Structure 1
Amino acid sequence: MPSSREHEDAPSAEASVVPNIGSTRLHLIILGLWLCLFVSAMDTTIITTALFRISSEFYALDRGPWLVTAYLLAYNSFLMITAKLSDIWGLRTILLAFNGFFLVFSMACSAAQTMNQLIVFRALQGIGGSALYSLVFVTIMKLIVPDKIAFYSGVISSVFALANLSGPLIGGAISDHTNWRWIFWLNGLVIPISMAILLSSMPGINDNKSTKERLRGFDIIGGVLSVCWPVPLLFALQEAGVSYDWNSGVIIGTLVTAFVLLTFFIAYESWASYKTKIDVIFPARFVANPAAALLLFSMFLLGMPFMSMFIQLPQRFQGVNFVSAERAGILLLPVSLMTPVGAMLGGLLNKKFPAECVLLLGTAVIGIGTGLLSSLPIDNGIADATYGYEIITGAGLGLASTPYYIMLYTSVEEKDVPIGTGILNMLRTLGGAVAVAICSALHNSVLHEDLSAFLNAEQIAGVKASGTFIARLPEATRIQLGRVFGRSYNKQFKVILAFALLNFLVAIALAVARKKKGIFGKMPIRTLENEFTKIDRKHEGEKEQAVTARANETTERIEGTTH
């Protein structure tokens, strides 16, 4: 297999841009980024096991799920525009600002006196969390030297596995043993540490431009539309089949609204890309470029098994094997721990092999793992093979997550990398939301078809509404119910398998497209200065001297031959 180094071009700008910070400062910045991303990611899950306690205190059990929905809607909708804001005020300023924003509304959540206040504060907290998620990856793309981007992306990606694992456990422990407001007070302990580290270690932007100059050409209309269309779409995907039927007016109305706004967004961004000098939120050239378009589509497909693994698998443990939420989190340990290990392994492989090959390997392993999980027994005992299947799937998810950022750097112009990073992150979360919506619809369909054979209408409603109701059913009925749930989850993972296999085919098409474009296996080469890099003037001078010397030698040889 050819090394990625053999495929590099060697333009004159190579090695002319070098880091301007030392290794100690680098690792301090990584620590600060890791901490702020960890609390941002954990806040998507920490509240899930405390919903009943919080909602009961406000006498609002029916509105409890909105504490999760409000955060996720904001979290997923602001990924693109917050990535773009770093071009205006610089990463240090914007990261510190949104750390502060997230901290303020975390404290507001802890002080909420009504359910409506808490829901509103959770949505605003979600905006801060979205910015932290997006900006951390933009920082990694600018901070890390190209041949180490994959490895450090893997280190940062370990946040999500640990947050998915620890969030529900910490939330449940706080809810059971102390005041639920500590869920938000925890952010008040971690975020100031993160801010202090970033404030002391991150350099500011120094391009000699005023804020007014950087704001000139900012895509205000595109920015507003980039936030507006995901909100109704994600609301429909999260609530359809749960709070509302798919054919209800609420779901149809929000889906139509999302489609109309998305159409406006695409039309406006296409027009602005080619007819104006606006620095657009979503460059149309991304879609016109097959290498970039396939990369984005592949990331969307990667989000489907990723989210399904951390959402559907714990539910399977609870619904089929009748374990507690805490036990389900422990049973998820193999995939939770293997994902960051796979990501760091992928980072190392990307240094020796083309990123396209690492992506192909990762998507193939995901397909194998997902297929195995779709064949789990439907009895209430937990098969030993489950842990092996989780390890395989986690390794695949980790391996596949790192090549995207390397290939993004060589698929688009360097100045488009920050917004491209935001788009990649948004598409992964959007793919996950679509997958969860599909799984939810399949689950409800299976329950509707199979439960009527041994449960009456009242019991079916109870099964769909409460795990406590299931626990009160007779043992024989629970065993039957567990088998129905088992068939449902196996069917869900078969559908996710189909998307995983589609991603493998897309990865092949991506490799072919990059080969045709001449960028297969190419490592990124940084040519633009930013907060963390500078032009290596000494190297440039030495290079010019070497070129001059070679030119003189050639001239002398020609003259000698002539004489």
Structure 2
Amino acid sequence: MNGRLEGRALWTVFAALMLGMFLAALDQTIVSTALPTIVGDLGGLNHLSWVVTSYLLASTVSTPLYGKLGDMVGRKPVFLVAILIFLAGSMLAGLSQSMTELIGFRALQGIGAGGLMVSAQAIIADIVPPRERGRYMGLIGSVFALASVAGPLLGGFLVDSLSWRWVFYVNLPVGALAVLIVVTRLHLHTPTVRHKIDLLGAALLSAGVASLILVTTWGGSQYAWGSTTIFGLAVAGVLLLVAFVWQETRAPEPILPLGLFRSRVFAVSNAMGFTIGMAMFGAIVFIPLYLQLVYGASPTSSGLRLLPLMAGLLVAAIASGRIISRIGRYKIFPIVGTAVLVLGMFLLSRLGVGTAPWLASVYMAVVGIGIGLVMQVLVLVVQNDVQPRDIGVATSTATFFRSMGGSFGVAIFGTIFATRLADQLAQLPRSVTARLGSGVHLQPEQAKQLPPLVHADFLQAFAQSLHGVFLWGMAIAAIPAVLAWLLKEVPLRTTVAPVAEASSEEALAGATPEPRLQQPAVRRAGAAP
């Protein structure tokens, strides 16, 4: 293939990358509606949460490693390895005969998923200049929005129509199509310089991140926050990450070059990603619970009722991406997006037992618009800020900080909610609290069985507790709203890689620079969707 990918060839490859990312995002949510059926078939109720946790843990831990590997050995082979691992995990998960096997194969899926998320976005950075990349990043944001809604719906349909095993088998034909397109249509330069992988750094980072994610997953549920297990994991996680930072200062080729954080753009963008992840994931996880308890919606119906939020995210992400590509400036979008997110969190804090469904939909749409205006823009910003040799690391770091922020957000807001709910219930008569216990683990179906007066008291206590969660979400969302003003606007490059740097790197590698990496971007009619 001569020259840079353009027109139909570019959109064909982009579609394959989107399919890969869609599968990875879909498998975060598609299992939820199948869990009761899986337990009925395989047993292992006590380990049920690990079906979700193992996937989250493996995908988050593997994210930084894939970014560095892509920079070192080439993104196409890394993407193909990731999707093959993901598909192998999907097939084996579908064939599982015990809960232990399913948890292990879900972890294998997660290892592949971490590479799909990072490699796909890094490949887009290889084939599309930053100035044009906004429109594509907007579409990537829409993939996550679609997957979050489609996951529970598709999972429920497959369980009802076929079997829970098809929740995993459905990935195989879609993934095979993505592999075929990438193998035959995507031609990227593969570095020829020999690299030394920082294995110790990778091990320290993986162990440290795993420990902290287990703290946020287990704290307040399996173990009390003050328990020896949680305290030990927290201390171990912090010490391992300190050791990782020390290792990165002395490694010839660090997994995460700490020098990148000397750039204000890189540091501010990742700080924003972390805090937005906290506010977004931490608060939004309670919206389906509100819909189920207050409006009596089924799990599937509550997924559909999230459509306004996802529609707001989708429209804002695509529109902002197209505008960025047109004007070549991005700073206004994080500023406006974070301000809208703060407003959206405040509006969610006004949700009550008597709130009309249409008004709740408006509030959710506002939150979606705020997220859509800022989330994918941050990835574009860090990619534009670093040298092409660090694109993979920059992409994986942005994804990693957002995921870690989400994990901490879910844990922190879960604790806030549980504490406030316990305080609210303590104010009710003993005859009511005797039926409710702590109230935290009360399922929507159980709540419906309560006597009318007890049910009404519980809903009021639940709504009051949610107010605090969303107000804290608003406070945390205010942090990136301030940081957005500190974000320096760096002109978006109109080439995929600076000619001088690409030439010097290729000369060192003893290879010839590929023309597609040096040609300036040409605005093409009909290139955008």
1:443: Cα distance to partner? Answer: 1.4
CA contact (8 A) 2:422 2:438 kept: no
| Deviations, residues 242-289 of structure 1 (Å, cap 9, x unaligned) | 2221111221111111111111111211233xxxxx221111112333
Aligned to 1:224: 203
In 2, Cα distance between the equivalents of 1:313 and 1:49? 17
Aligned to 1:412: 386
CA contact (8 A) 2:296 2:444 kept: no
In 1, Cα distance between the equivalents of 2:515 and 2:230? 46
Please say if 1:363 is aligned against 2:338: yes
- Which of 463, 474, 497 is matched with 1:497 structurally? 474
In 2, Cα distance between the equivalents of 1:463 and 1:363? 30
In 1, Cα distance between the equivalents of 2:373 and 2:289? 25
Aligned to 1:375: 350
CA contact (8 A) 1:99 1:128 kept: yes
State the secondary structure of the residue aligned to 2:285. Answer: helix
| Deviations, residues 285-309 of structure 1 (Å, cap 9, x unaligned) | 1233333211110111121233245
In 1, Cα distance between the equivalents of 2:39 and 2:479? 41
In 2, Cα distance between the equivalents of 1:233 and 1:357? 34
Aligned to 2:424: 450
- Which of 16, 23, 31 is matched with 2:15 structurally? 31
Deviates more, 1:452-461 or 1:196-205: 452-461
- Which of 367, 375, 398 is matched with 1:424 structurally? 398
Which portions of structure 1, spanning 4 or more consecutive aligned residues, are displaced by more than 4 angstroms? Answer: 519-525, 528-532
CA contact (8 A) 1:74 1:126 kept: yes
Aligned to 1:346: 320
Please say if 1:437 is aligned against 2:437: no
**What is the percentage of aligned positions where both structures have the same residue?**
27
Aligned to 1:394: 368
State the secondary structure of the residue aligned to 2:437. Answer: helix
Q: 1:173 to 1:475 in 2, by over 3 A?
A: farther
Please say if 1:149 is aligned against 2:133: yes
1:29: Cα distance to partner? Answer: 0.7
1:522: Cα distance to partner? Answer: 4.9
- Which of 172, 185, 188 is matched with 1:201 structurally? 185
State the secondary structure of the residue aligned to 1:191. Answer: helix
Q: 1:206 to 1:353 in 2, by over 3 A?
A: closer
TM-score (norm 2): 0.90
Aligned to 2:507: none
Aligned to 1:561: none
In 2, Cα distance between the equivalents of 1:445 and 1:480? 17
CA contact (8 A) 1:79 1:425 kept: yes
CA contact (8 A) 2:158 2:166 kept: yes
Q: State which structure, 1 or 2, has the greater radius of gyration over its C-alpha atoms.
A: 1
Aligned to 2:508: none
Amino acid at match of 1:26: L
- Which of 234, 253, 277 is matched with 1:255 structurally? 234
1:461: Cα distance to partner? Answer: 5.5
1:134: Cα distance to partner? Answer: 1.1
- Which of 280, 291, 294 is matched with 2:268 structurally? 294
CA contact (8 A) 2:292 2:299 kept: yes
In 1, Cα distance between the equivalents of 2:514 and 2:282? 37
Q: Structure 2 unaligned runs (5+)?
A: 503-512, 523-529
In 2, Cα distance between the equivalents of 1:206 and 1:236? 39
CA contact (8 A) 2:385 2:490 kept: no
In 1, Cα distance between the equivalents of 2:4 and 2:327? 26
1:348: Cα distance to partner? Answer: 2.2
Aligned to 2:506: none
Aligned to 2:114: 130
1:353: Cα distance to partner? Answer: 5.9
1:22: Cα distance to partner? Answer: 2.7
State the secondary structure of the residue aligned to 2:517. Answer: strand
CA contact (8 A) 1:462 1:469 kept: no
In 1, Cα distance between the equivalents of 2:219 and 2:362? 33
In 1, Cα distance between the equivalents of 2:514 and 2:465? 51
Aligned to 1:543: none
Aligned to 2:33: 49
Amino acid at match of 1:482: L
1:382: Cα distance to partner? Answer: 3.5
1:521: Cα distance to partner? Answer: 4.5
Aligned to 2:225: 246
- Which of 325, 335, 347 is matched with 2:299 structurally? 325
1:170: Cα distance to partner? Answer: 1.5
CA contact (8 A) 1:164 1:310 kept: no
Aligned to 2:146: 162
Aligned to 1:268: 247
- Which of 83, 93, 116 is matched with 2:67 structurally? 83
Structure 2 matches for 1:511-522, cutoff 5 A?
Answer: 514=488, 520-522=490-492
| Deviations, residues 371-406 of structure 1 (Å, cap 9, x unaligned) | 111112233x53422122222211111111233233
Amino acid at match of 1:472: Q
Aligned to 1:558: none
In 2, Cα distance between the equivalents of 1:252 and 1:202? 47
State the secondary structure of the residue aligned to 1:375. Answer: coil
In 1, Cα distance between the equivalents of 2:290 and 2:275? 22
Give the length in aligned residue pairs. 503
Q: 1:356 to 1:124 in 2, by over 3 A?
A: same
In 1, Cα distance between the equivalents of 2:96 and 2:89? 10
Q: 1:353 to 1:93 in 2, by over 3 A?
A: closer
CA contact (8 A) 1:282 1:419 kept: yes
Aligned to 1:559: none
Aligned to 1:281: 255
Q: Structure 1 unaligned runs (5+)?
A: 1-17, 273-277, 540-563
